Amino acid sequence: MEKRIYKISGVAVLVLTVASAFFLPKKIPAGILAGGVLSLANFRALAWGVTGLLGTRKATGKMIFFSALRFAIIVALLIGLLKLGLVDLLGVIVGMTAVFSVIIAAGARELLKNISAQ
């Protein structure tokens, strides 16, 4: 399911980025791309953390530290990109929302598949 989420999210972010590049100022497509890439990187790290958590059955200090570090890095990158004027906040939100929507849709699809199998 993870690979499917990466593929669909990547395509969605690229389509939104390219489509918006024709009609909107350059900062918005750049924001969409940045938001999508950061969301996908966060999703990958989150999946890695959950896999580690399932293996140990408990949250370790190391996992908590890396989760907080990941959050701090994402916030620092976003603030940096916004301060430098390279991206628009609206674009970042759209890119992040695109990835989030794909994750929710994939989860709902799996849930419905499991419900119908019972």
Top-confidence residue, 52 or 93: 93
Question: Which range is least confidently modeled, 64-68, 91-95, 98-102?
Answer: 64-68
Q: How far apart are CA 60 and CA 64, in angstroms?
A: 6
pLDDT band at 53 (very low <50, low <70, confident <90, very high): low
Taking a C-beta distance cutoff of 8 angstroms, is the pair 40, 11 a contact?
A: no
Domain ranges of the chain: 2-17+27-112
Contacts of 111 (CB under 8 A, 6+ apart): none
Residue 13: how many CB atoms within 10 A of its CB?
A: 24
CA-to-CA distance for 15 and 72, rounded, in angstroms? Answer: 28
Give pLDDT tens digits for 9-44: 999 999 999 999 999 999 999 999 999 999 999 998
For residues 50 and 36, which has the higher predicted lDDT (pLDDT)?
36
Q: What is the mean pLDDT of the chain?
A: 90
pLDDT digits (tens, 9 = 90+) for 77-97: 999 999 999 999 999 999 999
